[in-house]
Copies of this chain bind each other. A is one copy, B any other.
Amino acid sequence: MAHINENYRKLQAGYLFPEIGRRVKAFTAENPDATVIRLGIGDVTLPLAPAVVAAMRAAVEELGTEDGFRGYGPENGYDFLLEAIAQHDFAARGVRVETAEIFVSDGSKQDSGNIQEIFGSDCRIAVTDPVYPVYVDTNVMAGRSGAADANGRYAGITYLEANEANGFCPAPPKERVDIAYLCSPNNPTGAVSSRENLEAWVAWARAHDSVLIFDAAYDAFIQDPALPHSIYEIDGARECAIEMRSFSKRAGFTGVRCAYTVVPSELTGSTSSGERVPLNPLWARRHSTKFNSVPFVVQRAAAATFSPEGRKQTGEQVQFYMGNAALLRQGLGDAGFALFGGEHAPYIWMRTPRGLSSWDCFDRFLHDAHVVATPGAGFGAAGEGYIRLSAFNSRENVEHAIARIAKAFGD
């Protein structure tokens, strides 16, 4: 008799975005004439940059020729991509990351969901609240939690409230935690961690022999050159942190699929008997056993984002979205809404108007303004009373969305 993994039954409702999709689908079915503007899921809208298209085109042609054809790629990624990452994402900021420490994958969702596999089932994890749901759900599925309470918080997981008082950047916990997930610039709040905040986390992790999982999927949106892009800009982070980056948002790759994870050679965990074990070979084993490299065409596309034209073009895309974020901040701020984030991230975190709950606000925005947002409560109990607006859309749609929300819900 094949037993199921009963941990799955602890999971609350569906994964957030499919649930939003279902509600939007129901609304549009009932209101076929409504022009719905989607500022919900953080999905890019600009076409791929010309330099990326050119690289993919060339790679496709190569695969159609006898000399250019390539089958299985190196499991961690082609050298041309690993070297470009090490150079542009790290060395250029004075950070040393070796190519053997970089693992190219098909997405940060996958990486941030899979990384927990190399840790023991007894590890206690901490997340900020609100939080990208994948960190929590994948640990629940792996049995690192008890049941959820009425607020959707799982027993056995440490939640660190990100709120207005702490600028949505919580300090490290007091209680024992083995693994902490951090995301900066933050999804969903749009907050960015200061150097001091990250220094406090690294000091805490080193003092408690804990591991930080640092998700920097949105690093390209940082506007202030003094803010850290990488956790490895903090001294001592190579001994305590794994970092993840993605091409999804910085280069419009949500439908192209490329990301990477860095596991420094110094980083160790321990066995239950106290033996130190390097994590890099464990992740390498996981990667080579359960993964089979990113498509060649996609790796060429990712490498093209580092060429001079690619950097210029994708940089302009990022700035276009940040222009949308500035408009949202300006327009909705003028209409009297309390807004956070959106300065170094493509997300605006907004206090719901009129004391609405997050999901009520979601439904009201959809029905009254025909705007899809993401209910803050979908990211955790501390997200209740907030709603997330994404800056990924056309200028025109963003302007319409601002006008509609302001008209329906503004002061």
Contact = CB atoms under 8 A, between A and B. Distances in A.
Interface string A271-295: 1100001010010011011111111
A256 interface: yes
Nearest to A210: B2
A137 interface: yes
Interface string A110-122: 1001100111111
A75 to B, nearest CB: 7
Contacts of A70: 255
Interface stretch (A45-53, A226-234, A327-335): A45-53
Nearest to A56: B60
Interface string A164-199: 000000000000001100000000000000000000
Contact of A2 (B44, B114, B209): B209
Contacts of A60: 53, 56-57, 60, 297
A5 B117 contact: yes
A134 B271 contact: no
Interface in A35-74: 41, 43-48, 50, 52-53, 56-57, 60-61, 63-66, 68-73
Contact of A269 (B4, B61, B298): B4
A208 B2 CA distance: 9
Interface residues of A, number: 87
Given A48-B63, A71-B45, A119 B290 contact: no
B117 A256 contact: no
Nearest to A64: B53
Please state the number of chain copies in the assembly. 2
B178 A290 contact: no
A4 B63 contact: no
A254 B63 CA distance: 11
Contact of A282 (B5, B72, B277, B293): B5
Interface in A126-153: 133-134, 137-138, 141, 143
B2 A271 contact: no
A3 to B, nearest CB: 3
B257 A292 contact: yes
Given A113-B290, A282-B5, A290-B114, A50 B69 contact: no
A211 interface: yes
A110 B290 contact: yes
B120 A3 contact: yes
A291 B291 CA distance: 12
